[in-house]
Amino acid sequence: MTGPDQGRDEAAELAAALGEPRWEAPRVRPLDRRLAVDSDSVERGLASLVLTVVELLRQLMERQALRRVDLGDLTEEQVERVGATLMALEEQMTQLREYFGLAPEDLNLDLGPLGPLLPTD
């Protein structure tokens, strides 16, 4: 016999030869077909995810704008406009975080060994 059962049969034969009791997989209770979700928790989780992405993009745009300012690529008017836009976006983000009861650190996902998603400056 070949296939996945062959390995199990060989393991069972080896266990029997060694006088080990036959191993049986533990019984697993079937999952409940209904998933209990709290709509407030789902809304807050989704808001956290969306705001995290927006915050990441906001920080990237801010860094790009600062680089362009440092390089002298922007006119004085463009610098003012970019600054005002980024400040307005940051204010809007603060209002949205407060509305959903989120702290700034709630938007920073832990990526395990890679560290946090957003810089903690």
User: What is the per-residue pLDDT across 11-42, written as a single tens digit (0 to 9) for each?
Assistant: 677 667 777 776 666 676 666 666 566 777 78
Q: Is residue 49 part of a domain?
A: yes
**Looking at the predicted structure, is the pLDDT value of residue 118 above 80?**
no
Domain count, the chain: 1
Predicted confidence at residue 109, as pLDDT, reads 79
Exposed, middle or buried: residue 107 (CB in 10 Å: 0-12, 13-18, 19+)? buried
Q: Residue 70's domain spans which residues? A: 39-109
Is 75 contained in some domain? yes
Q: Is the per-residue pLDDT at 7 higher than 90?
A: no
Does residue 1 form part of some domain? no
With respect to residue 12, please indicate whether it lies within any of the assigned structural domains.
no
Within a domain: residue 27?
A: no
Strand (E) or helix (H) holding 118: none
Residue 15 CB-half CA count within 13 A: 11
In a domain, 10, yes or no: no
Q: Read off the pLDDT of residues 74-117 as tens digits, 9 standing for 90 and up.
A: 899 999 999 999 999 999 999 999 999 999 888 887 778 877 77
Determine, yes or no, domain membership for 91.
Answer: yes
**pTM reported for the whole predicted model:** 0.60
> Is residue 64 included in any domain, yes or no?
yes
Burial of 63 (0-12, 13-18, 19+ CB in 10 A): exposed
Query: What pLDDT shows up at residue 33?
Result: 61
E-assigned strand segments in the chain: none
